[in-house]
Amino acid sequence: MKDVGLTNAQAQALLAKFGYNEIIGKPRQTPLGIFLSQFASILVMLLITASVASLFLGDLLDGIFILLIVILNGVLGFVQEYKAEKTIAALKKMTLSTVRVVRDGFEQQIDNKLLVPGDVILLEEGDKIPADATLLESLHLEVNEASLTGESMAVEKNSRGDHKYLFLGTIVTRGRARALVTAIGMQSRFGQIAGKLSAIL
């Protein structure tokens, strides 16, 4: 039955297939590196060249105007990338924990990154949900999904309709549950957000 959990052998095979349950991003850059990268494109280099040429030829107004546009563009790009970098780091931290699973018919506590699709997880008040999952059973379960939706009010969860879905990075605020893991790491909704943020860096 799907609610009795995997065997350790099945879990190892699925870990080899799906990889670790973790959020993957590009290696972190220093703020200076992010800022300098804003001026590395061919278009920006052409604009800087045009600005220098204008200044050299005595057209101060055009030269300064072009240079200001380049600097403003660089600052705006830096702010956007720096915020995205910090957000990805925060997403990674939110997924670091341990989780209670049922394997070989027994409850075990494992590192969150070893979780695989098909695992049955046990949740209670205060737990961070370690992966996307579907509820198997619950008792008075409420989840704060602010990390995904921005909505601060807790959402009631049960095994009916759309209320049966749980998402990585959200937090159990009340009750307890047993759930079946459906997606981990970068395949989770949380991971897809992190992937989109990485794409703009």
Q: How many CB atoms lie within 10 A of CB 9?
A: 10
Q: In the chain, where are the structural domains located?
A: 2-22+98-199, 31-93
Length of the chain (residues): 201
Do residues 183 and 132 touch, judged by C-beta distance below 8 A? yes
pTM here? 0.66
Does residue 54 have a pLDDT over 80?
A: yes
| pLDDT tens per residue across span 134-170 | 999 999 999 999 878 878 889 999 888 788 999 998 9
Among the listed residues 128, 119, 83, the one whose alpha carbon sits nearest the alpha carbon of residue 101: 119
Note the pLDDT of residue 91.
60
| pLDDT tens per residue across span 111-127 | 999 999 999 999 999 99
Terminal-to-terminal C-alpha distance of the chain? 44
Distance of alpha carbon 109 from alpha carbon 100, whole angstroms: 4
Structure token pair of residue 161: 């309709």
Distance of alpha carbon 64 from alpha carbon 158, whole angstroms: 62
Burial 110-141 (b: 16+ CB within 10 A, else e): bebbbbbbebbbbbeeebbbbbbbebbebeeb
| pLDDT tens per residue across span 11-45 | 999 999 999 998 776 566 677 777 777 878 788 88
Do residues 89 and 197 touch, judged by C-beta distance below 8 A? no
- Burial (CB < 10 A; 0-12, 13-18, 19+), residue 143, is buried
Topology of domain 2-22+98-199 in CATH is: 2.70.150
For 160-184, what is the mean pLDDT? Answer: 92
Helix ranges restricted to H, the chain: 8-18, 31-37, 42-56, 60-94, 146-149, 189-199
Among the listed residues 115, 119, 117, 112, the one whose alpha carbon sits nearest the alpha carbon of residue 92: 112
